[in-house]
């Protein structure tokens, strides 16, 4: 590549940089992004908010608060808790929670793929 005063690329841009992205969805002033996405994913996987919180490195109180806040602001129940039983209760996603988890997971995955593809298209000459 020719050397030019004040502007030189020794490497193609596509090799110089790493593309990054973040996606989330908003309703009113409350958003749902990776944090809640993983939290709901773990609730679904473990059937327990406390186990989900541990996986996220959060306190139970913080995880519970995060879920309650969005449920209240959106008027939409995402997690159902059962009290008692053999395991001392548990939690599972509501239909709405499961649908949100699945839709957001699809959205996130497809955008991740698009970011890689579009980055290469945009920065390769």
Residues that bind a second copy (CB under 8 A): 4, 6-9, 13, 16-27, 31-32, 74, 76-78, 80, 93-100, 103-104, 106-107, 110-111, 114-115, 118-119, 121-123, 125
Nearer to a second copy, 41 or 98 (CB): 98
Nearer to a second copy, 17 or 88 (CB): 17
Contact between residue 71 and residue 77 where contact means Cβ atoms under 8 Å apart: yes
Q: How far is the CB of 89 from a second copy (least distance, A)?
A: 14
Distance between CA atoms of residues 14 and 37, nearest Å: 30
Which tokens belong to 8?
A: 């030189």
Angle between the N-to-C axes of helices 34-46 and 95-123, in degrees from 0 to 180, rounded to the nearest 10? 130
Nearer to a second copy, 12 or 65 (CB): 12
Nearer to a second copy, 57 or 85 (CB): 85
Q: How far is the CB of 88 from a second copy (least distance, A)?
A: 19
- Integer angstrom CA distances of residue 17 from 14, 91, 110, 120: 6, 42, 21, 10
Q: How far is the CB of 71 from a second copy (least distance, A)?
A: 10
Positive or negative, the CA dihedral 116, 121, 123, 125 is positive
Q: How far is the CB of 12 from a second copy (least distance, A)?
A: 10
């Amino acid at each position: 590549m020719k050397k030019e005063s004040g502007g030189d690329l020794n490497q193609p841009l596509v090799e110089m940089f790493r593309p990054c992205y973040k996606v989330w969805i908003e309703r009113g002033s409350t958003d749902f992004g990776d944090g809640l996405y993983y939290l709901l994913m773990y609730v679904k996987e473990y059937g327990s908010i406390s186990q989900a919180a541990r996986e996220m490195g959060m306190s139970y109180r913080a995880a519970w608060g995060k879920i309650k806040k969005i449920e209240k602001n959106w008027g939409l129940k995402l997690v159902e808790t059962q009290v008692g039983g053999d395991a001392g209760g548990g939690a599972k996603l509501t239909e709405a929670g499961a649908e949100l988890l699945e839709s957001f997971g699809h959205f996130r995955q497809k955008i991740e793929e698009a970011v890689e593809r579009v980055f290469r298209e945009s920065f390769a000459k």
